């Protein structure tokens, strides 16, 4: 693969992988040979139809999905119309009534296990496709997205025949047909978070991928076919916002599980008001990552880097507001500048890459607009001076100092590799600043003192609070938000509850 790159001086360079790493070596004094992941083993169709009722069903319209690192078209994906959504929902309803509600919990578990096992066999293929379609570094899709997705299927397979132990003494039934809508930042993982508990609880599913990342969901459809899951139990479709809206508004959809922006979450809530549909909303975030002066600083620096530059900052629970105790601010900023220089930005398929491509042109535009607002409002911008490939969508790992709580970059979700750094003097001030946001999804606390961790974790209004670590996930652990980050929990036992209807 050849990238056209721009040197730090602005001169255009056309480099292949080896030349590229050579130039980095000369510039930075250390050497990494390019280590591209092979793409020989992946199987992609030129065109993906809709997966409805166990069949591949043609749509009237198709749209291209591109590789954001090269801007090349990878494949065409079907654009599901209202009548396609209706077809998918009716197929899920038929499958629920005629087949899935009659399958014993123990048999349900076996199907879910089988899906997990087949995914394991295709793990490498899933990882490469996820990185090609969405731009995330292969080391992340291989080490995090794919194994964690598989772990969710294994975990919920284990629960399928033990639901009475999860909710002792309670009477419950599956909900029926569930509609699931997911974003583009963790396509396969978000699908696993949603499909696995829904099946374990005995529901049938219609799920829609995000417009820029349909491919791993269609790969999952192939796995579901291979696992011989009864036709119509899981229906996988692609399309745009209007496709999602058609799922939400279909009268036969009894529960909606949505992950995406707060803006669309509000639209969904408005449109189902007055119906008896169940809903969970996993929305945006603007998490505080709080570093005390007694924290292990070098470990905290890695936590800050992981908190904001993981997956290019396209992470709902990203630690995008750094709150540093005033006495150590200069040290932290100095160390961050140094660390930013060694972050490798570029080809997502290169195993050395730390920060990949921005998912889409639109997202890049949004990031740039918010970063300009930060500069206009008087904040100080620092950016890594790495060379960026000429084609594709890229943004340098960046942070702002001199940030006030009222600045847009401190309030709005940037959803890119951009950190806003602020300071505090006392734990009380840190709590007040951490909670001064419309969001409440996650937070991080770095300190040597356990008592401080317990006090802070209790007072911060966020669904997940990490201490001396960040962005750690486990299928057994519930995830979800407060305030405008949404409601309902995914993962763990809490995640099962959302897919059952209780007769108290």
Computed on alpha carbons and rounded to an integer, the radius of gyration of the chain in Å comes to 23
x/- map, 468-487, ligand NAP, by CB under 6 A: -------------x---xx-
Q: How far apart are CA 236 and CA 379, in angstroms?
A: 44
Choose, by CB under 5 A, the member of 49, 133, 347, 413 that binds Mg ion. 133
130 part of the interface to Mg ion, by CB under 5 A? no
Q: Which does 497 bind (CB under 5 to 8 A by kind): Mg ion, ligand NAP, none?
A: none
Point out which span in 48-56, 153-161, 236-244, 350-358 binds ligand NAP (CB under 6 A): 236-244
Among 96, 155, 415, 424, binds ligand NAP (CB under 6 A): 415
Given candidates 50, 92, 181, 205, which one binds ligand NAP under the rule CB under 6 A?
181
Q: Which is nearer to ligand NAP, 441 or 462 (CB)?
A: 441
* Shortest-Cβ-distance residue relative to ligand NAP: 244
Q: Read out DSSP for 369-406?
A: HHHHHHHHTTPEEEE----EESSS-----EEEES--TT
Nearest to 381 by CA among 395, 363, 399, 369: 399
Positions marked catalytic: 282, 316
Alpha-carbon torsion 218, 223, 224, 226, what sign?
positive
Q: Is 283 in the site for ligand NAP (CB under 6 A)?
A: yes
Tokens of 124: 């490498």
Q: Would you say how long the chain is, in residues?
A: 504
Report how far residue 79's alpha carbon sits from residue 61's, in angstroms, rounded to the nearest whole number: 5
Q: Pick from ligand NAP, Mg ion, none: which does 284 bind, CB < 5 to 8 A by kind? A: ligand NAP
Shortest distance, CB of residue 39 to Mg ion, whole angstroms?
15
Cβ 260 to ligand NAP, closest distance in Å? Answer: 3
Q: Taking each helix axis from N to C terminus, what angle separates 187-200 and 105-121, rounded to the nearest 10 degrees?
A: 160
The answer to whether 386 and 3 have CB atoms below 8 angstroms apart is no
Q: How many C-beta neighbours within 10 Å does residue 28 have? A: 14
Closest distance to ligand NAP from the beta carbon of 236 (Å): 12
Largest Cα–Cα distance of the chain, in whole Å? 70
Asked if residue 312 binds Mg ion (CB under 5 A), the reply is no
Compute the least distance from the CB of residue 211 to ligand NAP, in Å: 3
Residues 6+ apart with CB under 8 A from 389: 3, 4, 5, 69, 346, 347
Q: Which stretch binds ligand NAP (CB under 6 A): 43-51, 58-66, 279-287, 426-434?
A: 279-287
Q: What residues make contact with ligand NAP under the rule CB under 6 A?
A: 181-185, 208, 210-211, 240-241, 244-245, 248, 259-261, 264, 267-268, 282-285, 316, 413, 415, 441, 481, 485-486
């Amino acid at each position: 693969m050849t990238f056209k790159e721009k040197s730090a001086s602005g001169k255009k360079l056309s480099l292949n992988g080896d030349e590229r790493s050579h130039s980095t070596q000369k510039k930075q004094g250390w050497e990494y040979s390019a280590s591209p992941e092979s793409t020989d083993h992946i199987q992609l169709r030129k065109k993906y139809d809709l997966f409805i009722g166990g069949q591949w069903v043609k749509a009237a319209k198709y749209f291209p999905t591109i590789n954001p690192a090269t801007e090349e078209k990878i494949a065409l994906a079907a654009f599901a119309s209202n009548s396609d959504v209706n077809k998918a929902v009716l197929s899920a309803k038929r499958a629920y009534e005629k087949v899935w509600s009659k399958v014993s919990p123990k048999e349900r578990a076996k199907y879910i296990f089988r899906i997990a096992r087949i995914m394991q066999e295709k793990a490498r293929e899933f990882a490469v496709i996820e990185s090609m379609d969405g731009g995330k570094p292969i080391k992340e899709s291989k080490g995090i997205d794919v194994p964690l997705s598989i772990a969710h299927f294994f975990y919920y397979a284990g629960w399928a025949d033990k639901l009475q132990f999860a909710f002792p003494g309670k009477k419950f039934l599956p909900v029926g047909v569930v509609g699931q809508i997911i974003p583009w930042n963790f396509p396969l993982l978000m699908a696993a978070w949603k499909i696995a508990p829904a099946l374990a609880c005995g529901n049938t599913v219609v799920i829609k991928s995000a417009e820029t990342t349909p491919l791993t969901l269609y790969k999952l459809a192939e796995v579901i076919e291979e696992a011989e899951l009864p036709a119509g139990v899981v229906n996988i479709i692609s399309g745009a916002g209007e496709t999602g809206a058609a799922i939400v508004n279909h009268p036969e959809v009894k529960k909606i599980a949505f992950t995406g922006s707060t803006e669309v979450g509000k639209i969904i809530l408005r449109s189902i008001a007055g119906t008896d549909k169940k809903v969970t909303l996993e929305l945006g975030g603007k998490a505080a990552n709080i570093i005390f002066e007694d924290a292990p600083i070098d470990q905290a620096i890695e936590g800050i880097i992981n908190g904001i530059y993981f997956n290019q900052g396209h992470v709902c629970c990203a630690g995008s507001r750094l709150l540093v105790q005033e006495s150590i601010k200069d040290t932290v900023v100095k160390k961050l500048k140094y660390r930013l220089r060694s972050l490798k930005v570029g080809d997502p398929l290169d195993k050395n890459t730390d920060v990949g491509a921005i998912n889409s042109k639109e997202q890049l535009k949004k990031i740039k607009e918010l970063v300009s607002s930060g500069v206009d409002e008087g904040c100080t911008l620092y950016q890594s001076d790495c060379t960026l490939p000429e084609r594709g969508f890229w943004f340098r790992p960046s942070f702002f100092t001199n940030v006030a709580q009222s600045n847009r970059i401190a309030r709005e979700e940037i959803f890119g590799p951009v950190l806003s750094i602020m300071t505090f003097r006392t734990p009380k001030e840190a709590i007040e600043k951490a909670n001064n946001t419309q969001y409440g999804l996650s937070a991080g606390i770095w300190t040597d003192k356990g008592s401080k961790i317990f006090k802070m974790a209790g007072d911060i209004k966020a669904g997940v609070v990490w201490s001396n670590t960040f962005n750690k996930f486990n299928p057994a652990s519930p995830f979800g938000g407060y305030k405008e980050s949404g409601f309902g929990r995914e993962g763990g036992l809490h995640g099962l509850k959302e897919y059952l209807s209780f007769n108290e």
